[in-house]
Structure 1
């Protein structure tokens, strides 16, 4: 496998824009909007260039690259801290139990409460793999590279990490959850609101939405059925997140009702299992397949590789992996089982 993950550069914009146009809408972190994507890449470059290591509202954009051809076939993002520039809003799904002695009945009602509970968390998102490259473990490499980057730069990230998954919508881009709730307070379709959100953030929703809790039972069946459910195309991504230890903690997106999953950063499986090793040699290896990462900030690289372990803290890697990571004998790398 010749692909590697590396930090995005400004000249990656054309490839990222082409992928953004393939998302089909509802993909807030990867909008097909040129000024927004250019601004994202500029913000990412500033984040990678920052010298100090404390947690801030950084954005790190990565690409999946074939170095031999220069082709970009995927992208993903990591946010250092959400809720820095604008409040980070979610709906929290809670249950209110009420008892009527006269009727001898107990009523349990679900409520949607607008909240900023998740502010201060880090976030992984913006993952998109080109439709022609969704095989051979490239999705796992792209997704898990984010956790290897977090491990190598742990002080830049929070105690908790979240991921928002796109909710259910039809082929025309209409979302039942939006139509039943937020859409009733705005003269905007879901595609229009989603595009506005991608460029300007969610503040306009919170400014105009009711602050009181909303009874879920008042929503139509079409909205209740999709609340907390990912878009069909996101089910594989949800499974990968669950395999890393992310859980649905009753938070849903205020736009499309998609699930927000959360994990303690140090308990994310790849973060927890990744081990630092020194390269003992570059050459013939065994058949054990792993994910490797090396480098700080703009020098970060990640790839799949065949290795042979030399004791507990040394490893022999193949020449292709050494070239992809731009490392050699004596360098330190991060390794985790594939």
Structure 2
């Protein structure tokens, strides 16, 4: 396999823009807007170049590259801490139970409450794989490489991690959840609000969104039925998150009602189960199939490979993976079972 994960570069702008046009909407972290993408790449370059090994309002944008063609095949993002420069809003699903003795009945009302409960969390997001490359485990490589990066730069991230999944979008590109709730307060359709948020941020949510709890019984069935459901194309991503230890905790996206998943960073499987070893050779021909990573910050690389660990703790890696990682004997690799 000739694919490697690497940090983004400003020269990736055209490729990112071409991919952003394929997302189909509702993908705030990869807007089809060149200035916004250029700003993301600049912000990512600043994060990879930051000397202080501390957590801040940083964005790390990773690229999946086909090294044989030089083409960008996918992208994924890591936000070191959300809610620092502007609030990070979510809806929390809750239940209000009330009992009438006169009627001898108990009523349970489900409510949506606007919160900033995830302030200070780290976030993984912006995972998108080019449609022509959706095979061979590349989505898993792209997703899990983020956790090896986090493990190698642990001080730059918080205690807990979240991931927002895109909610249900109808055939016309609209959101039943938005149309049934927020759209009534904003005077714009979902596509307009989503595009505005991607480019300008979500301060307009703070300005216009009702602050009182919303009883879901007051929403149309079309909106109620999609609360907490991922977009059909995001079901595989949800399973990957669950396999890593993320769980749905009753929080949904304020735009499309998609589920927010969360986990303790140190309990994420790819963080917890990864190991380090010093390479004794880079021409190994046997071993276990792993996701391997080397380097730090702008020199970070990750790919699939064969790694064999000896009794003395050193390891060998196959020649192709060593080439993709630019790894040599004596280097340290981080790896986790595929």
- TM tier, shorter chain? over 0.9
What displacement does 1:311 show? 2.0
Q: What does residue 202 of structure 2 align with? A: 202
Q: Does 1:168 align with 2:168?
A: yes
Partner of 1:149: 149
Counterparts of residues 1-338 of structure 1 (less than 5 Å): 1-311=1-311, 313-338=313-338
Decide whether the 8 Å contact of 2:286 with 2:318 is kept in 1.
Answer: no
SS in 1 for 2:98: strand
- Once residues 266 and 207 of structure 2 are traced to their aligned partners in structure 1, the CA distance between those partners, rounded to angstroms, is 35
Q: Distance in 2 between matches of 1:311 and 1:109?
A: 60
CA contact (8 A) 2:162 2:262 kept: yes
Post-superposition Cα deviations, 1:235-263, rounded to whole Å, max 9, x if no partner, equal 00000000000000000000000000000
Q: Greater shift after overlay, 310-319 or 116-125? A: 310-319
Q: Deviations over 1:112-131 (max 9, x none)?
A: 11000000000000000011
CA RMSD of aligned residues (A): 0.8
Q: For residues 105 and 312 of structure 2, what CA distance do their matches in structure 1 show?
A: 62
| Deviation of the 1:133 alpha carbon | 0.4
Distance 2:310 2:178 in 1: 55
Whole-Å Cα distance in 2 between the matches of residues 265 and 272 of structure 1? Answer: 8
Stretches of 4+ moved more than 2 A in 1?
A: none
Say if 2:3 and 2:303, in contact at 8 Å, map to a contact too: yes
Q: Is the 8 Å Cα contact of residues 277 and 315 (structure 2) preserved in structure 1? A: yes
Deviations 1:170-215 (A, max 9, x none): 1221101000110000110100000000011111012111111111
Retained in 1: the 8 A contact 2:284–2:306? Answer: no
Displacement, 1:287? 4.6
In the superposition, the TM-score normalised over structure 1's length comes to 0.99
Q: 1:269 deviation in Å? A: 0.4
**Distance of aligned partners of 1:119 and 1:176 in 2 relative to their CA distance in 1, 3 Å threshold:** same
How many residue pairs match? The answer is 338
**Is residue 280–residue 310 contact of structure 1 (8 Å, CA) maintained in 2?**
no
